[in-house]
Structure 1
Amino acid sequence: MLKIGLDTESLHLWLQNKKMDIFGYIETAHRLGFEGVMINLIKDYNLDPEWGTLGSNDPEHLRKVKALLDQYNMYVELATKGIGYEHLKKIIAVADALGADVIRTYIPITLNNDMIGNSGGEGLYDPSKVRGDFDPLVFDEAAMELTKIIPLLKRSRIKIGLENHEYETSEELVRVIRKINSPWIGLHYDFGNSMMAWEEPVQAAENMAPYTVSTHFKDHIIIPCPEDRFQYVVCGVPAGEGNIDLKQCLKILLDKSTVTRLTVEMCYPYCAQFKRTPGTGGVKAVGEGCFKIEQPLYDYNLMKPSQYYYPQEVSKELLEELLKKQMDGVSKSLTCVKRLMEEINPAF
């Protein structure tokens, strides 16, 4: 039976602005009808610099988190970034304590000697680091590094899901997985992230599904953004309100992968820059299909797309408005995925 969970990123405004902690998050996910959670162990605004939304790796804290998850019979997966052995060793220890059997991570990309995704807030724009190209040897190096952690994964019975995280095309990631060739390291298919690498989500699903062990279910639109080098950015919206062919992507996953969970990552409000040269993933320009251009969520003079993720930096009123919209968006996304599953196969 396919279970539906919720990633902490889906309520990032609530967590970062101290409207709830990890216990309140689990309670909320359960109340809304989710059957599991993915917990981001990544620093960001107002979060623990090492353990992110989890808050701590203190054994007593972890025991209490696990007890609440067990009380509601909810699955738990963890999300981190980076592929270093010592880092992943620490994450595996926390996964063991919580009963998590999947860890999502992604490959840091080096541009001009700067490691992307390892400094500042996750939602910050940094146009200086969006160059479009990087040394492809990073993928060979990643395969070699990840191989080191396999014995620990095997011992703990935990799998790693390597995500298509904005820079990587699906083909690049599939090559990494084939090179590693281990049942303990697969792919994490994110329904929307391929767009930032100019790749159709349906194509990414086709390529990644046979290797997919975990997921992020989300929806996106393209909006104008005068401050960006490409003049457009990818914008998160509640599932069903964007232009990704979610039904087709989901059908591919159900037909060609062995996943037993769909984790909703409702990235609203959020905008992401295109990270690669147009055409890298097969799409050369915005304008058609899921790359159709839509209106911005807010008037540019009120709030720029680069400010959507941290509206508290614009005004308290916008933060309060988006807190409500974010919670509503989570509910809409759950309704959407249930409807699509029913349409694909009423047995679900």
Structure 2
Amino acid sequence: MIIEPTIHSFSLWHHFAHKPGFDCVAYADLAAELGFRGISLSLNNPEYRHLGGREIWRMDRLRDHLHGIGFSLEVDTSGTNPAHMTEMLTVAARMGASSLRTYTRHGGTPDQMMAATLRDLAAVAPVAGDLGITIVLENHEDFTGPELARIVETVGHPALKILYDYGNSQMVLEDPEAALDAVLPHVHSVHFKDHVMVRPEHAGQLTVAGVPIGDGALPLARLTKRLLDHGLRRITFENVWAYSAPIRPQRAPLAGVTLGEGAFAFADPPFDPGFLVLDQSQLAPDRLVDLEYRALIRGKTAFDAILRGLGCRFSG
């Protein structure tokens, strides 16, 4: 089967932050050199993060460049406030993006978070539909698979789908395969990444840590096979080396989760910085850029091998 491999800009966030001259166009060109056929771009701060600023010329410049190299585009934000989402949907449409990723920023109990998120998305989904943009709600360290599916099913609008992240269910102590069971009918896009768990005595609290793809504990081939069998053909690579996140409060291990086993296997120190970094402040900026690129290339090799092992060929 032919798939379209794409890459998320978070994969190179230290390049954006620390490498002189590295911007969204340089990112797209590097993605093309590495064999990807599209990008996801984070616009997730007031200055539209990896776009480099809010100016219209920046949007048009990247749109035209991507069109010239035959690349697809998806963009990211966070929060579900209808006014914010309407702004970002307009930006996505101008840039030629097919989808806008978001996640909730509401607080409170899971039920309170769900209710507020649902109200927001019910209000803005028709706007997305009119613009021809799909809103993809990510399981981003907040909702379980069933909770996310319930929001989408209750809104019931064709412009609202789900972005399934391979590892984010771990922050709510939900097995990644169980999360996929719940959301699969609604999945529009994915973040293909790898994680390990780190014990509280090594990280200060029970923590999920990103590692190069292929070096972690997530069941990457099994998850991907299920998604391919369901018809998914656009798969987004996300290098999350040097990322970490604590387990969410108010969450207890769900059925099938045993800490220290399977996807929740612990990594033990000493930690090689090429594998796992918990405190980025201990590394100089140029070292972060170098290690990030090494992790990306190592992960891309594993990513390609997993997909080819599942019978995939790459478009382009």
Structure 2 residue 289 is matched with structure 1 residue 323: yes
**Aligned equivalent of 1:147:** 122
Residue among 285, 306, 316 paired with 1:340? 306
**Aligned equivalent of 1:30:** 32
Count residues with an aligned counterpart.
Answer: 310
Structure 2 residue 63 is matched with structure 1 residue 99: no
TM-score of the pair, normalised by structure 1? 0.83
Q: CA deviation at 1:298?
A: 3.5
Matches within 5 A, 1:1-348: 1-19=2-20, 20-43=22-45, 49-111=46-108, 134-226=109-201, 231-256=205-230, 258-277=231-250, 279-282=252-255, 285-296=258-269, 298=271, 306-307=278-279, 311=280, 313-316=281-284, 319-346=285-312
CA contact (8 A) 1:198 1:283 kept: no
Task: Note the alpha carbon deviations across 1:23-82, whole angstroms, 9 max, x for none.
Answer: 211111111111111011123xxxxx4311111232222111111111211110001101
Percent identical residues: 27
Aligned counterparts of 1:292 and 1:194: Cα–Cα separation in 2: 15
Letter in 2 for 1:238: P
**CA 1:18–1:232 in 2, change beyond 3 Å: closer, same or farther?**
same
Q: CA deviation at 1:105?
A: 0.4
Q: CA deviation at 1:18?
A: 4.2
User: In proportion to residue count, which structure has more helix?
Assistant: 2
SS in structure 2 of the partner of residue 149 of structure 1? helix
SS in structure 2 of the partner of residue 2 of structure 1? strand
Aligned counterparts of 1:315 and 1:177: Cα–Cα separation in 2: 41
Letter in 2 for 1:239: I
Q: Which structure 1 residue ranges, 5 or more long, are not aligned? A: 44-48, 112-133
TM-score of the pair, normalised by structure 2? 0.91
Q: RMSD of the TM alignment (CA)?
A: 2.2
Q: CA deviation at 1:297?
A: 6.6
Task: Note the alpha carbon deviations across 1:67-100, whole angstroms, 9 max, x for none.
Answer: 1111211110001101111111111111111110
Aligned counterparts of 2:257 and 2:309: Cα–Cα separation in 1: 32
